[in-house]
Amino acid sequence: MRFRFNLALKNIKARAGRSSLLIIICAILAASVFGGSVFIRSIQNGLHSYEKRLGADIIVIPEEVKEEGSFDGILLQGIPDTFYMDRSVLEKVKETEGVEIASYQFFLASANAGCCDSPVQIIGFDPETDFSIQPWIREAYEGEITDGDLIVGSNIVIPPNRQLRFYNVTLNVAAKLEKTGTGLDNAVFGNIETIKSLIRSADSLGFEDFKDVDPDSVISAVMVRNEKGYDVYKTAGNINIPIEGVNAVTSQKMIYGIAQGLKNVSGIIGIITGLVWVLSIIILIALFSLIAGERVRELAILRITGASKKIITGALLWEAFLIALIGSVSGIAAISIVYFPFADTIKRSLELPVLQPGAGFMILTGFITIILSIIICGVTWSLCVLRIAARDTGLLSKEGV
Amino acid sequence: MSLITAEKISKEFTRKGKSKKRFEVLKETSFEINKGTVTEIIGRSGGGKSTFVSILSGLLQPDTGKVYYEGKDLYELSDDERSKLRNKKFGIIPQDHMVFKNLSVIENLLLVKEMYGTEDKEEENERLAEELLNKVGLKDYASYKAGELSGGELRRLAIARALINDPEVIFADEPSGDLDEENTKNVLSIFRELTEQGKAVILVTHDREAIQYADYIYRMDLGNLKEEKL
């Protein structure tokens, strides 16, 4: 066993150019499988997380906000925005047929100015009626969210004094949420009273968006839970038709758009990965066939000096194993170095929620990728070289000379 | 008792190309090699000498007939057994420069020595390899890549490699092919020395110089082997 391993190692080292080429092809194979799998899983996770975080069956927002796409911008890309509609919308929605619970929220953007620590989306919810944000917050924070408390998204950096300042109001950071892969990772959450204090302060500081805005008479959105058994699209229609200036969007419709995007991206990645595999396997077979002539001579020398077919087969399989192992590990490392630092850029350019899978998935995918590369490399190698190893020694040595 | 006995061995090959014509290389050839002798096989090129040596050394199975080494039928042995025998008891010097050109000179020797589990005796193996390289005049080239050697040096490397396991039988196919007069004499002297230790040497050669070192001479002609008088 040791001799076979050493012989394989010697062969790899002695034929550095040939071995490097094979290692690079195995690395490309592994990188495409690992990178493709992780990326597809990331957007699947992102979609799942997005669906979970929406938390409402219907979202009612001002009509112009839907048209401008700024609500999608907040949820998907974390682009902060401020918008309002009259508070009377909440009462009208509550009375609509098919609505089980309706809870309002505030969406305001912090300013990119000295009064604010960082430009983020600030979301206010009503602790009495909220059913979409609090269950999520409870996963990270069990305590009561009092006036002046903030719960922050995973991308928000918490200062050592655990305080953030918006519109010159200093707020305490109570907890940080788990990563969702959505724009909500760039948001901070507080109760309605906290948000109202920010609006008043912003107005006093002279910010145009808040000029003469009475926080008691406006809201940004209404989150609706649909009555069980009632058609959700019918409920949305019940809201859209009589209430002017609003747009009730079902979460299914919002997710459908993302899911379509996800399907397209996954499809493209799948096709690219498939093509890379087909091409790499063709190249591997071509390369192995090309070097088969060279191997005839090597194998003939080994047979002449007393190596059995078992020793030669063992050494060749070790060689294929080592090449595939080195190649696949390098491929996984290379794609990780390229992909992970740019994951956020990719996410922004795709406008899709991207949530990286956990370490368990990464390790398992990496392991499967390595096994798959070893199998592919071993099989193509066997096809081209092992049949030579099995041939009659005398004929081999005659061809080898 | 003879060391190697060949009984009525024959071998046919099929010509490459369209004709696929069969031709007989060996015709029911019988032969014996005794310990402590140098046996030369001479004859025209393409006459079947190399094929004959390949069959005797367990590299190529004959179509008919038997080859015995110390009473054991070589081709009744499993591939593992026959290969190990070839490694331990036979030293084969092939016609061409069949060495690993990307390995160093000493690595080429150690590879053969370590094939059946003597890697733990690294120092002893290296010492032995150096001794052999010294014997064939390659001591100073031990760390060179084999690919850097000249034709004659490669031939001497193949000779040293064949001797690394202290074999009982040496099969040498044109061992003096690339050698100058001095090195030819040196190599043939080494073979003569080996016979004094009871080993058998089979030489396939065209070299007239070699004749004076032979105990037996056979001529291979159209698949028939005939002993010639010295």
Q: Write down the pLDDT at residue A391.
A: 64
Query: What angle is formed at CA B134 by the lines to CA B131 and CA B136, rounded to 5 degrees?
Result: 115
pLDDT digits 0-9 by tens, B174-211: 888 777 888 888 888 888 888 998 999 999 987 777 78
Residues 6+ apart with CB under 8 A from B78: none
- pTM score, whole prediction: 0.72
For residues A71 and A246, the answer to whether their CB atoms sit within 8 Å is no
How far does A323 lie from chain B, in Å, by closest CA?
18
- Looking at A230, A250, A270, the residue that finishes a domain is A250
pLDDT digits 0-9 by tens, B146-155: 999 988 889 8
What DSSP line would sit under B46-113, residue for residue? TSSHHHHHHHHTTSS--SEEEEEETTEEGGGS-HHHHHHHHHHHEEEE-SS--S-TTSBHHHHHHHHH
3-class SS of residue B163: helix
Residues 6+ apart with CB under 8 A from A82: A107, A108, A109, A209, A210, A220
Enter the tokens of residue A54. Answer: 């929406």
* B99–chain A Cβ distance below 8 A for any pair: yes
How far does B229 lie from chain A, in Å, by closest CA?
30
Same domain, A222 and A291: no
Instruction: Please provide the average confidence, as pLDDT, over all residues in chain A.
Output: 83
Enter the tokens of residue A133. Answer: 């944000």
Residue A392: list chain B partners with CB under 8 A. Answer: 60-61
Nearest residue of chain A to residue B165 (CA atoms): A305
Same domain, A154 and A208: yes
Residue A19: list chain B partners with CB under 8 A. Answer: none
- Looking at A250, A270, A290, the residue that finishes a domain is A250
Same domain, A228 and A329: no
Across the interface, do A307 and B115 touch by the CB < 8 Å criterion? yes
Enter the tokens of residue A92. Answer: 């009208």
Mean pLDDT, residues A222-229 taken together:
92
Q: How far is A8 from A6, CA to CA, in rounded Å? A: 5
Stretch among A337-341, B15-19, B212-216 having the lowest mean pLDDT: B15-19
Task: Nearest by CB to A310, from B58, B80, B165: name it.
Answer: B80
**Residue B36 pLDDT exceeds 70:** yes
Q: Write down the pLDDT at residue B119.
A: 64
Q: Which ipTM was obtained for this model?
A: 0.91
- CA distances (Å), A135 to each of A159, A228, B83, in order? 25, 20, 72
Q: How far is A192 from A216, CA to CA, in rounded Å? A: 10
Residue A393: list chain B partners with CB under 8 A. Answer: 58-60
How far does B34 lie from chain A, in Å, by closest CA?
22
Beta strands (DSSP E) in A213-324 are 218-219, 221-226, 246-250
Q: How far is B24 from A398, CA to CA, in rounded Å? A: 16
- Looking at A226, A250, A274, the residue that finishes a domain is A250
More confident residue, A298 or A394: A298
DSSP code of residue A140: T
Residue A298: list chain B partners with CB under 8 A. Answer: 100
Across the interface, do A394 and B59 touch by the CB < 8 Å criterion? yes
Same domain, A156 and A294: no
pLDDT digits 0-9 by tens, A180-224: 878 888 889 999 889 888 888 888 888 877 777 788 888 999 999
Number of neighbouring beta carbons within 10 Å of residue B171: 29
Cα A23 to its chain centre, rounded Å, is: 29
Residue B55: list chain A partners with CB under 8 A. Answer: 394
- Its domain, for residue A33, covers 2-49+258-400
Residues 6+ apart with CB under 8 A from A156: A118, A120, A164, A176, A185, A186, A187, A188
Across the interface, do B98 and A400 touch by the CB < 8 Å criterion? yes
Same domain, A143 and A8: no
Tell me which H or E stretch contains A256.
helix A251-304
Enter the tokens of residue A327. Answer: 């190649």
Residue A7: list chain B partners with CB under 8 A. Answer: 111
3-class SS of residue B1: coil
Across the interface, do A397 and B94 touch by the CB < 8 Å criterion? yes
Confidence of residue B80 (pLDDT cuts 50, 70, 90): very high
Q: How far is A254 from A170, CA to CA, in rounded Å? A: 35
For residues A249 and A233, the answer to whether their CB atoms sit within 8 Å is no
Enter the tokens of residue B31. Answer: 């032969």
Overall number of domains in chain A: 2
Find which of A11, A305, A396, A397 to mutate to test the B interface (most B CBs within 10 Å of its CB). A305
Pick from A285, A333, A395: which is nearest to A34 by CA? A333
**Residue A401 pLDDT exceeds 50:** no
pLDDT digits 0-9 by tens, A159-170: 888 888 888 888
Torsion of CA A312, A318, A323, A324, to 10 degrees: 120
Exposed/middle/buried for A172, CB within 10 Å: 0-12, 13-18, 19+? middle
Same domain, A180 and A297: no
Q: How far is B194 from A27, CA to CA, in rounded Å? A: 52
Across the interface, do B115 and A306 touch by the CB < 8 Å criterion? yes
Confidence of residue A399 (pLDDT cuts 50, 70, 90): very low
Instruction: Give me the phi and psi of B210, to 5 degrees please.
Output: -65, -25
Exposed/middle/buried for A26, CB within 10 Å: 0-12, 13-18, 19+? buried
Same domain, A284 and A269: yes
Same domain, A210 and A62: yes
Nearest residue of chain B to residue A296 (CA atoms): B98
* B77–chain A Cβ distance below 8 A for any pair: no
Same domain, A45 and A81: no
Same domain, A362 and A276: yes
How far does A26 lie from chain B, in Å, by closest CA?
23
* B79–chain A Cβ distance below 8 A for any pair: yes
pLDDT digits 0-9 by tens, A381-393: 777 776 666 665 5
Across the interface, do A14 and B102 touch by the CB < 8 Å criterion? yes
**Residue A261 pLDDT exceeds 90:** no
What DSSP line would sit under A59-108, residue for residue? EEEEHHHHHHTHHHIIIII-----B-EETHHHHHHHTSTTEEEEEEEEEE
Same domain, A15 and A91: no
Same domain, A212 and A329: no
Across the interface, do B112 and A395 touch by the CB < 8 Å criterion? no
* B125–chain A Cβ distance below 8 A for any pair: no
For residues B154 and B99, the answer to whether their CB atoms sit within 8 Å is yes
